[in-house]
Chains A and B, each alone.
Chain A
Amino acid sequence: MKLTDISRDINEWFDGSGPMSDIVISSRIRLARNLAGYKFLSRCSTQEREQTLQKLKQAVMSLDLGDKIFYISVDNASSLDRNFLVERHLISRHHAFGKGPRGAVIAQREFFTAMINEEDHLRIQVLRGGLQLSQCAEQINHIDDMIEQKVEYAFSPRFGYLTACPTNLGTGIRVSVMLHLPALKMTGQIDKFFNATKDLSLAVRGLFGEGTEAAGDFYQISNQVTLGVSENDIVSQFQDSIIPEIIEYENAARKQLLSKQAELLDDKISRAMALLKHAHLISSQEAIFLLSHLRLGVNLQRNAGASTPAIQNLAALGSEDRADKKGGLSIATVNRLFMLTLPAHLQLNYGKPLDSLHRDALRAKIIRSALTPDS
């Protein structure tokens, strides 16, 4: 398995087909675990890290996950490959650029990753498109059970699963949902969302997790409390109360845009379209920012039957996505542009590293040709 086998298309969870996927990009659950009888990684020698790596690699590689799995030695991977895995949401930035022997076991369909020797010995994650937290929870619990048959986890009756940092203690669970909230931003109501998350002591991050800022109206929210609350309670709070409430805010803002601020909306979409169609140099940040507006336009047409002049223009675009019989620009196409033009994706698919000017030129070219298929 080579990374270029997956780098030419978006992952399954990003094809825009999951429940509520006009607003909820993805649902992710990860569990942090450590082996009993071993030191946490910050106190481990290289040799000891090698031991935990081999033990866990063997345990995870022997699982039957209903999909092909492959192993990547992260410390030996090139910097480009590591950046690609981060862009793909398969490993964390911390794992990509950490130190010592470490690796990742990845399911080919990209719904599952096990990071070995990240901050904890083992961090497993399950990712799905749209709002599917309950399904993620069920699947990751099952995988965790299977791993537990093979190794012994560090666990205390008082504190639960023991983790290197007390912020993950107990359940070791981190539930994260990635949201696209362009209308709240456009109507100046994004503070509503921030206030809601603050009240519930949730963490808000940008597209690529800890330490990154929000780009293109994409926000990732996750729980901070991992102790004293059960996995089920955390998951159902997200699935049944927090996320539906945010979806409601965003939908209300979308309605408001259509009914009262259609010109503002059309201006944003048309400007985004004009730049994306004609620019010859475009940075990754700018592409994400502009594609976000196209994505809103396409979703408004699909889900709310909106037909403002700018949205009609989007619908009149010939789609290069042949599977989509409806014509017009599809969410899958927009998502594809969004992911395949990220810096590491661009370079991996191009076949060699490119400097930033050449990346910006190649990115602009890919976007131009996707939005004007006849050219």
Chain B
Amino acid sequence: MQCQSCQKREATVHLTEINDGVRTELHLCEQCAQQEGIAIKSQIPLNELLSTLLASQPAEGELLDDSDTKRCCPHCGFMLEQFRKEALLGCPYDYELFESSLLGLIEKAQNGHTTHCGKVPSRMPADAQKQIKLSILRQQLESAVGSEDYERAAEVRDKINKLE
């Protein structure tokens, strides 16, 4: 659709106004919309996006099974129902309790990632620290192989062997 103002560019901003029951529609390109002083929300707030995402999940029947939606966290009383409204979890334990329901959502929100690969608190037990380092290295190995950087892959593999 062409912009109604400049008649040149593609209209990407669509405004519907209803005044005293009279409906008017305006189709503008971004530049003309800005000139008209129409604010463009370029970003849907993440939380909003997430809750929409989760709310749409059951319809696809992919992620939430009934047992999870009815379950209630013994620590904080949180139920997945609430997540749909606020996109916020109730306590750290919820990540464990509802892991299977949350995984798909985390994957979507985090560009396909589901495992931490970064800083580890210094007070973590040595064994847990080692596990995390290994997981980071395995990811590095995967990406090195993926980009056919075999020299780097060999280096990372050696590091993994040493740690293990």
By a beta-carbon cutoff of 8 Å, the part of chain A in contact with chain B is 34, 36, 38-40, 42-43, 119, 141, 144-145, 148, 152-162, 164-167, 169-171, 173, 188, 191, 194, 201, 203-205, 210-211, 213-214, 224-231
Contact = CB atoms under 8 A, between A and B. Distances in A.
B77 interface: yes
B92 A36 contact: yes
Contacts of A204: 42-43
Nearest to B42: A204
A210 B106 CA distance: 20
Nearest to A224: B46
A39 B76 CA distance: 6
A166 B109 contact: yes
A173 B117 CA distance: 12
Interface of B: 30-31, 39-43, 45-47, 50, 75-78, 82, 86-92, 95-96, 102, 105-106, 109-124, 128, 131-132, 135-136, 139
Given A170-B110, A227-B106, A43 B117 contact: no
A167 B91 contact: no
A167 B111 contact: no
B46 A145 contact: no
Given A204-B43, A228-B117, A229-B113, 15 more contacts: A40-B76, A42-B86, A43-B78, A156-B96, A158-B116, A161-B116, A162-B95, A165-B47, A165-B87, A166-B109, A188-B31, A224-B111, A227-B117, A228-B115, A229-B118
A364 to B, nearest CB: 20
Interface of B, helix, strand, loop or mixed by DSSP: loop
B88 A42 contact: yes
A194 B120 CA distance: 34
Interface of A, helix, strand, loop or mixed by DSSP: loop
B50 A157 contact: no
16 contacts: A39-B91, A40-B88, A42-B82, A119-B88, A158-B114, A159-B116, A162-B92, A165-B87, A165-B89, A166-B106, A166-B109, A167-B110, A170-B113, A204-B42, A213-B40, A231-B119
Contacts of A167: 46-47, 50, 87, 109-110
A15 to B, nearest CB: 29
A227 B110 contact: yes
A214 B34 CA distance: 11
B62 to A, nearest CB: 16
Nearest to A41: B88
Given A167-B50, A170-B110, A43 B76 contact: yes
A34 B117 CA distance: 18
Given A155-B124, A211-B45, A160 B50 contact: no
A171 B31 contact: no
A373 to B, nearest CB: 33
Contacts of A169: 95, 106, 110, 116
A325 B151 CA distance: 55
A43 B92 contact: no
A188 B115 CA distance: 41
